[in-house]
Amino acid sequence: MPLQLPTAIARYLDADRTADPALLAACFTPDAVVRDEGHNIHGIAAIQAWRLAARAQYQYTAEPLGSTQVGDSTRLLARVTGNFPGSPVDLLYVFGLRDDRIAALEIRPPVELEGRRALVTGGTQGVGAAVVAQLTQAGATVLTTARHRPATPPDVRFVTADVSTAEGCATVAAAVLEQLGGVDIVVHVVGGSSAPAGGFAMLGDEEWHQALNLNLLPAVRLDRALLPGMLAQRAGVIIHITSIQSQLPLPEATTAYAAAKAALSTYSKSLSKEVSPQGVRVVRVAPGWVETDAAVRLVENIARQNGSSVDTARRSLMDSLGGIPIGRPCKPKEVADLVGFLVSSRAASITGTEYVIDGGTVPTA
Q: Tens of pLDDT along 324-351?
A: 899 888 999 999 999 999 999 899 999 9
pLDDT of residue 307: 84
Q: Give Cβ neighbours of residue 71 (< 8 Å, ≥ 6 apart).
A: none
Rg (CA), the chain: 24
Domains 7-108 and 117-290+330-357 share a fold: no
Q: Which of 237, 211, 190, 183 is nearest to 352 (CA)?
A: 237
* 3-state secondary structure at position 98: strand
In this structure, whether the domain defined by 7-108 belongs to CATH 3.30.710.10 is answered with no
12, 16, 48, 297 from 53: Cα distances, Å: 16, 12, 9, 63
Higher pLDDT, 309 or 135: 135
Q: Tens of pLDDT along 244-285?
A: 988 888 777 788 899 999 999 999 999 999 999 999 999 999
The dihedral sign for the CA sequence 146, 77, 135, 69: negative
pLDDT of residue 2: 61
Q: Tens of pLDDT along 216-246?
A: 999 999 999 999 999 998 999 999 999 998 8
Distance between CA atoms of residues 15 and 24, nearest Å: 5
Higher pLDDT, 144 or 253: 144
* 3-state secondary structure at position 40: strand
Strand partners, 284: 240, 354
Q: What is the 3-state secondary structure (H, E, C) of 258-276?
A: HHHHHHHHHHHHHHHHHHH
pLDDT of residue 66: 83
Whether the per-residue pLDDT at 365 is higher than 50: the answer is no
> Would you put residue 242 in left (φ > 0), alpha (ψ -120 to 50) or beta?
beta
Counting every residue, how long is the chain?
A: 365
Distance between CA atoms of residues 203 and 364, nearest Å: 30
Query: Which CATH number is associated with domain 117-290+330-357?
Result: 3.40.50.720
Domain segments of the chain: what residues? 7-108, 117-290+330-357
Split at pLDDT 50, 70, 90, the class of 41 is: very high
Q: Tens of pLDDT along 155-205?
A: 789 999 999 999 999 999 999 999 998 999 999 999 987 777 778 877 789
| Mean of the per-residue pLDDT values of the chain | 90
Count the Cβ atoms, other than its own, within 10 Å of residue 100. Answer: 11
Lowest mean pLDDT: which of 133-137, 139-143, 201-205? Answer: 201-205
Q: Tens of pLDDT along 16-29?
A: 888 888 888 899 99
Task: Determine if the peptide bond prior to 2 is cis (ω within 30°).
Answer: no
Split at pLDDT 50, 70, 90, the class of 316 is: confident
Q: Give Cβ neighbours of residue 162 (< 8 Å, ≥ 6 apart).
A: 147, 168
Task: Return the axis-axis angle of helices 293-306 and 310-320, rounded to nearest 10°.
Answer: 110
Query: With pLDDT > 70 as the criterion, what percentage of the chain qualifies?
Result: 98
Distance between CA atoms of residues 100 and 109, nearest Å: 25
